[in-house]
Amino acid sequence: MIPMAKPIIGEEEKKAVLEVLDSGIIAQGPRVKEFENGFAEMCGVKHAIATTSGTTALHLVLLAYDIGPGDEVITSPFTFIASANSILFVGAKPVFVDIDPKTFNMNVSQVEAAITSKTKAILPVQLYGLCCDMDEIMSLAKKHHLVVIEDACQAHGSEFKGKRAGSFGTGTFSLYPTKNMTSAEGGMITTDDDVVMEKCRVIRNHGMRRRYYHDELGYNFRMTDVHAAIGNAQLAKLGMFNNKRKENANFYDTHLKGVTTPFVPDGYTHVYHQYTIRVPEGKRDDLRAFLKENEIGSEIYYPVPIHKQGFYLEMFGDGKTYVEADFAASEVLSIPVHPSVSKEDLEKVASSINEFMAKG
């Protein structure tokens, strides 16, 4: 079976973990600080704050910006549900705008119309490893005095006009095992804002600035040195991992027929957390079944947009439609693109898709 994802854990990661276990400093310690410094440098920002997951990274940033009940945050309905759930965690309301059918990212031309007196932030999702139009988003945020919180959980190393994801507003990343790099589980916040950095660090650690003196309500969102040790080793390999993903994506771009391959606008660098094709309506599920028969993994990210999830229908069922998000959910299919995919695997995946699509 050619798997959809395969974390690459080498001797460097194993050695680093054993060194932490032998050191006796297992909770948040020097490895976490090293990881934060390295991640900040990778993104080109002043600060990085390690957390337990991409979801808690989003939660922390929203808290740090004092977003809460009565506030609205504009985001995409076509993403993993944590993007919107984190807004609910702080008592605010997610407000959706439809997606661009080519990039699958937020359609920035619809953002301004969604801004109200209650809007506090824009939360663009850099989906599949491709940045949004950050020039337009930052311009709108400046015009309307809004915060920008990047959900870059799938975009480690992605660039927009030479600037890294996570360096525009305040960035959030996931370090889940299937991501372009991992710490086994974890998240990261990136920012140039000293105040946001300080608040995130305090809230992350039970609201403490001094040990056992709790200045505000906080949480235990700390990363361990064990996780950070893995993250440090993975961060050193991120460039190599991303280059291999790009090579694999280029093979698909030049060999696949009968499907729509990913669109990458000029000035954008896609890091292909997922290589997501569009299959003509009505054929996607049959193609997926055919790939499974041929021992090829695939996945649908995402079969049900957030606005159609049962919980959200109950809370916000207002009859609004997001045509492109709904249509994408019926056509998208992600195929193996991770660095462990071999040339033979690529050829098998491409020939299988082409065989199926040629049947009409």
Using one digit for the tens of pLDDT, what is the confidence trace for 237-269?
A: 999 999 999 999 999 999 999 999 999 999 999
Q: Give the other-Cβ count within 10 Å of 7's Cβ.
A: 16
At 321-335, the pLDDT tens digits run 899 999 999 999 999
At 273-294, the pLDDT tens digits run 999 999 998 999 999 999 999 9
Distance CA(321)–CA(308), nearest Å, equals: 10
Count of alpha carbons within 13 Å of 262, Cβ hemisphere only? 28
The predicted pLDDT at position 237 comes to 98
At 60-108, the pLDDT tens digits run 999 999 999 999 999 999 999 999 999 999 999 999 999 999 999 999 9
Looking at residue 106, the DSSP 8-state letter turns out to be B
Q: Please, which pLDDT band fits residue 121 given cuts at 50, 70 and 90?
A: very high
Q: Average pLDDT in the 351-360 region? A: 94
Distance CA(311)–CA(308), nearest Å, equals: 8
Q: Please, which pLDDT band fits residue 320 given cuts at 50, 70 and 90?
A: confident
Mean pLDDT of the chain: 97
**Element spanning 147, H or E:** strand 147-151
Tokens at 166, concatenated? 């996570």
The predicted pLDDT at position 124 comes to 98
| Dihedral sign, Cα of residue 51, residue 53, residue 56, residue 62 | positive
Looking at the DSSP bridge assignments, the partners of residue 335 are 275
Percent of the chain's residues with pLDDT above 90: 96
